[in-house]
Amino acid sequence: MLYRKLGQTGIDISQLSLGTMTVLKGGTVAEKLSLYDAAYERGVNYFDTSDNYENGESERFLGKFLKDKDRSKIYVGTKCFFPKPEYPAGGLSRENITQTVERSLQRMETDYIDIFYCHRYDPNTPVEETITAIQSLIEQGKIRHWGVSSFSTAQLCEIYYTAREMKCGLPSVAQYPYNLFNRTIEMDLKEAISKLTLGVIGYYPLAQGVLTGKYSNSSNTDNRASDPLLKKQMWDLTEIKLTKVSRFLQLAADLGVSPAALALRWSLHYDAVCSTLSNVNNFNQLEENLQFISVDLSPEVTAALEGIFHNAPANPYTGQKF
């Protein structure tokens, strides 16, 4: 496995990390534990969850996963924001953050959270209240590092500089979607990420699975697009994108690599991205994803990808590509 320093946290994070948003779908708990054990044995050391994933069950799953492991060698991130049965108001209030962390620790059966994320920006809670709550939990040893997920540049700077003015621990990690279709962080957030020396963990590197090619075959019904409710949430599943994917699949075939491995390798080409976060449902997917290590992202391959997707960030005034 390959590793990178995660911002200023001191963590050497595996470039491929695993999420648990849908970890209990498509298999038994025992099967999934075996799958995640295999990922850990192959060097994956960061596992990502949230208090609202599968109504807290994904955190319980990670608790089972952690039981027979050396906790000091595994990094776990969880989040707080969205409403849940025990706290329907959601948000980043002191009460919600404090209660969420306590419940997350209980579900995961651990003493601390390596990275705690503000899952979204909360316009209804003063950032000072959010920062104070997190700082208190840091001082109690329940949180080691903290960060944000999907904050705009203005929101990110607001919470960072407010924390600095308050002489509190600073956010050091950020999660943003990043894939061959979505390069927003290279344009809107690039300067802020650099100046604040944040470690970025990218998510949706496979564009909800669209970049794997499994939705290009209309006869394949063993996927989430076969569920009408889930399909409505698949914003990357469009005819325009599928047309680009067909060319992408051919490029991967020509290179002799899996589409997933090529997409994951590309999602790590931007040096601000320390790790890319994916979900796996079986051993075949895990093995395909792990192939990213051997993908040679040469200038020629990078140019070929740009020829397919045509979305390299450019100066809006001059048109010159960054």
What amino acid positions are annotated as catalytic residues?
53
Rg (CA), the chain: 20
CA distance 267 to 177: 10
List residues bridging with 277 in a β-sheet.
Answer: 17, 203
Secondary structure letter of residue 171 according to DSSP: P
> What DSSP designation does 130 have?
H
Structure-token pair, residue 129:
């209240």
Q: Rounded distance, CA 3 to CA 11, Å?
A: 9
Residue 44: enclosing H or E segment and its boundaries?
Answer: none
- For tokens 């040096």, name the residue: 271
Q: Taking a C-beta distance cutoff of 8 angstroms, is the pair 251, 298 a contact?
A: no
Interatomic CA distance for residues 16 and 268, integer angstroms:
9
Please report, for residues 50, 148, 158, 185, the alpha-carbon distance to residue 122 in angstroms, rounded to integers and kept in the order given.
16, 11, 12, 20
CA distances from 288 to 59, 210, 212, 225, 264 (A): 25, 15, 10, 21, 10
